[in-house]
Amino acid sequence: MSTALCYERHDDRSVGCRLCRHRCRISAGGRGVCRVRENRDGDLISLVYGLVVAEQVDPIEKKPLFHLLPGSRSYSLAAVGCNFRCRHCQNAAIAQYDDQGSGGMPGRPLQPAEAVRRALSAGCRSIAYTYTEPTVWFEYALATARLAAEAGLYNIFVTNGYITPEALTMIAPVLHAANIDLKGFSEAFYRRVCGGRLSEVLDCIRDYRRRGIWIELTTLVIPGENDDQQQLHGIARFIADELGPDTPWHISRFFPCHLMQDRPPTPLQALERALEAGDRAGLRYIYEGNVPHGRESTRCPHCGAVVVGRTGYAVTRLTLRDGACGACGAPIAGIWG
């Protein structure tokens, strides 16, 4: 446990959490939407500081981040908790964990300095705060990220994009990149399926961009939920118009999961519609996930040459030269060294 950051006390002993965009007002003895931050007699406490439930060395491509140090390894870790309740959550057992108020949280102790040491020992170039929602275990992520940056490691959030500007201000100096889920493009979808608000996610994504943090977006295309033309074209236009056509968009195929076991896998035609929406919006880097032999290599938008070839999570070809296409010399957006 640890005293939380980003909150304010009120006269009635309630607290106002300012960590995520739910901005929960939590009465004494209560918890926020995330279920891992508790008001103890007017003080907000993180129940999961230094308690890791997942720890693994992953290819950076698994995050997915395709324009950050391709072929490198990322030390990936997580504590329990999330501020969304996505009906299709792939990691619901840890992301939506609820101890029913017993005060006991799962996880094995891992202090920030030890996490950094393990990352370096494994030959990783980055630490990814992932699998659950790193925003809700912000204090641990921040302490680890500061030490990681000092050690020359990159820091990555894999996130739903619901952090407040106040919290992002604190971690931005040591946060180098993020893969942000843009799960759909309607308020109804976000309320019904995720438990959040689209408008807040869009504002958060803009905030990441303003601060110069490298971002890539992921959309899991779910049949009957977010696969209509209006939403797919809305996402593509938002990326092109507000983030820029060099922002990578990862389009991923849905498979039945959690509370959406009754849905079929995404038809390949739906993914084709998403790819078409991205192409029509002028996006230069569009990728497919969860699809064998899908669009997964990075091509130079100027000459069409493959600059990063991929098969699954493996990099099979790398012809970048100082961040530029090896064939024509055109710059390729990303963090390459």
Q: Tell whether 201 and 77 lie within a shared domain.
A: yes
pLDDT above 90 covers a percentage of the chain that reads: 96
Measured between alpha carbons, how far is 165 from 161 in angstroms, rounded to an integer?
A: 11
Residue 103 has pLDDT above 60, yes or no: no
Angstrom CA distances, 305 to 297, 324, 329, stand at 10, 11, 11
Query: For residues 2 and 297, which has the higher predicted lDDT (pLDDT)?
Result: 297
Q: Tell whether 27 and 141 lie within a shared domain.
A: no
Which of helix, strand or coil describes residue 306? strand
- Which of 280, 335, 336, 328 shows the shortest CA–CA distance to 301? 328
Please, which residues bridge with residue 180 across strands?
159, 217
Residue 331 has pLDDT above 70, yes or no: yes
Q: Tell whether 182 and 319 lie within a shared domain.
A: no
- Joined together, the tokens standing for residue 154 give 């990159």
Q: Tell whether 153 and 191 lie within a shared domain.
A: yes
Overall average pLDDT of the 109-118 stretch: 98
Contact between 92 and 81 (Cβ < 8 Å): no
Measured between alpha carbons, how far is 301 from 286 in angstroms, rounded to an integer?
A: 11
Q: Tell whether 38 and 66 lie within a shared domain.
A: no
- Joined together, the tokens standing for residue 303 give 């000459």
Overall average pLDDT of the 292-297 stretch: 91
Per-residue pLDDT of 254-270, as tens digits, reads 999 999 999 999 999 99
For strands 298-299 and 286-289, give the pairing: unpaired
- Joined together, the tokens standing for residue 241 give 């118009």
Total domains in the chain come to 3
Residue 144 has pLDDT above 60, yes or no: yes
Residue 322 has pLDDT above 70, yes or no: yes
Measured between alpha carbons, how far is 142 from 205 in angstroms, rounded to an integer?
A: 19
Q: Tell whether 302 and 225 lie within a shared domain.
A: no
Q: What is the largest CA-CA distance in the chain?
A: 66
Overall average pLDDT of the 218-239 stretch: 97
Q: Tell whether 75 and 175 lie within a shared domain.
A: yes
Q: Tell whether 155 and 258 lie within a shared domain.
A: yes
- The pLDDT value recorded for residue 17 is 98
- The pLDDT value recorded for residue 98 is 80
Residue 6 has pLDDT above 60, yes or no: yes
Residue 160 CA to its chain's centroid (Å)? 5
Q: Tell whether 146 and 216 lie within a shared domain.
A: yes
Domain housing 23: 2-46
Contact between 330 and 301 (Cβ < 8 Å): yes
Per-residue pLDDT of 34-79, as tens digits, reads 999 999 999 999 999 999 999 999 999 999 999 999 999 999 999 9
Contact between 251 and 233 (Cβ < 8 Å): no
Per-residue pLDDT of 178-205, as tens digits, reads 999 999 999 999 999 999 999 999 999 9
CATH, residue 209 = 3.20.20.70
Q: Tell whether 184 and 326 lie within a shared domain.
A: no
CA distance between the termini of the chain:
37
Angstrom CA distances, 102 to 36, 52, 324, 328, stand at 11, 19, 54, 61
Residue type, position 80, single letter: V
Query: For residues 208 and 293, which has the higher predicted lDDT (pLDDT)?
Result: 208
Q: Tell whether 94 and 215 lie within a shared domain.
A: yes
Neighbours of 28 (CB within 10 A): 14
Between helix 268-281 and helix 229-238 the angle, nearest 10°, is 40
Contact between 74 and 61 (Cβ < 8 Å): no
- Joined together, the tokens standing for residue 307 give 């600059």
Q: What is the CA radius of gyration of the chain?
A: 20
Q: Tell whether 325 and 181 lie within a shared domain.
A: no
Residue type, position 213, single letter: I
- The pLDDT value recorded for residue 163 is 98
Per-residue pLDDT of 149-169, as tens digits, reads 999 999 999 999 999 999 999
Residue 292 has pLDDT above 90, yes or no: no
- The pLDDT value recorded for residue 102 is 61
pLDDT above 70 covers a percentage of the chain that reads: 99
Range name among 117-121, 213-217, 288-292 with the lowest pLDDT average: 288-292
- The pLDDT value recorded for residue 25 is 98
172 DSSP assignment: G
